[in-house]
Amino acid sequence: MRIVIALGGNALLHRGERPDAAVQEANIDRVTTAIAALAQEHEIVITHGNGPQIGLLAVESAADPALNAPYPLDLLGAQTQGMIGSLLARTLHDALPGRRIAALVTHTLVRADDPAFDHPTKFVGQVYPYEVASTLARKRGWHIAADTTGWRRVVPSPAPERILETDTVHELLNSGTLVICAGGGGVPVTADQDTGALTGAEAVIDKDLTAALLAEDLKADFLLILTDVPCVYAGYGTPDQRPVLGATPAELRRGGFPDGSMGPKTEAAARFVERTGGLAAIGSLDAAYEIVHGRSGTLVRPDLTVA
């Protein structure tokens, strides 16, 4: 079975942890343990978030006196693909001796006129108290929004149109390679209408929506979205909270999940299932193997009543 795995941005850097390299290196072992068991039995493609990491790089770049201007988000996204891809490749190399593993920097085409550029919604970086966040916003021209435990920077998140290196990923998979790609949703680029020339975009694409598109294009059988909760919850954080263990795409969309957290995950799962007839699931990183075998998480299945 061909599985596309989308790792949450907090897989390497949990909420509240210091963003040190040593912390992320320590956390990578947990990720490897979760994935290695699946890789023994299935073809695997791994994508990953980069919210904490790109936020850190953006802060460092903005504060660097040697720079005339901060690095743009597309180049910072490429840096996070390299860093996280290297960590994953190294640990998986040790966990899966003899397996070919490749970390690929990939680019995702977006529309230059996507309305998301005028309405930033994608959280990046660490959580701040409101006073600190508002000061940074004034000083650096950021947009900020309330997260679950504080305030964070938000940036544009245009819809992914096409992953430019999909054919290369196909070839690597067909040669037996475990591929790490489309990190942080891919490096966002726009294409000139006349020449096709690529230009980086000041944005961070949602990695779950990119993972759904990648899984569709790769003709994957299963899209596995791993996060820090055991499953999708209806009424999350309220007295009426209840687990959703199974749903169709239509049922997920009626759930009204928030854009800043579970919303993109449920939409990504719904899109993949609708467009391919395959299966998707959302659940905890530590239960990855159990989720694929139907013993944990939220399973998203096709609506068999639709012709």
Catalytic hit among 51, 125, 207, 283: 207
Catalytic hit among 8, 9, 125, 283: 9
**Helices marked H in the chain — which ranges?**
21-39, 51-63, 73-95, 130-140, 166-174, 207-217, 249-253, 262-276, 288-292
Active site residue 207: yes
Catalytic hit among 55, 77, 122, 125: 122
Catalytic hit among 265, 278, 283, 297: 265
Torsional sign, CA 47, 53, 58, 61: negative
Active site residue 122: yes
Active site residue 10: yes
Torsion of CA 240, 249, 280, 303, to 10 degrees: 120
Nearest to 101 by CA among 89, 87, 113: 89
Instruction: Find the angle CA(117)-CA(123)-CA(129) to the nearest 5 degrees.
Output: 125
Active site residue 50: no
Q: What is the CA radius of gyration of the chain?
A: 19
Structure tokens at 61: 């770049």
Please list the active-site residues: 9-10, 122, 207, 265
